[in-house]
Amino acid sequence: MSMQSHLAELERRHKTLENEIEKELLHPGSDENHIHELKKKKLRLKDEISKLKIQDSETVH
C-alpha cells in the first residue's frame, strides 16, 4: 500500500468515526463511555495522520 493510499484510508476511517460520534450524540440515551472510546480512536487516527503527513513532507524535501 502506498503512503498516499494509506493516508486516504486513515482519513476515511477518521471521517467515519466523526460521523458515528455525531450520530451517537443525537441520541439522548447515548452511552458516554462508548462516545469517549470513539473520540479516543478518532484522536489516535488524527495523530497517525499527522505523523504520516510530516514524514511525507520530510521525504519530499
pLDDT the model gives residue 61: 62
Q: What is the pLDDT of residues 7-32, one digit of tens each?
A: 999 999 999 999 999 999 998 888 99
Structural domain boundaries enclosing 48: 3-60
Q: What is the pTM of this model?
A: 0.85
C-alpha distance across the termini of the chain, in Å: 22
Total domain count, the chain: 1
Cell 521525504 sits on residue: 59
Q: What is the pLDDT of residues 37-58, one digit of tens each?
A: 999 999 999 999 999 999 888 8
pLDDT the model gives residue 28: 86
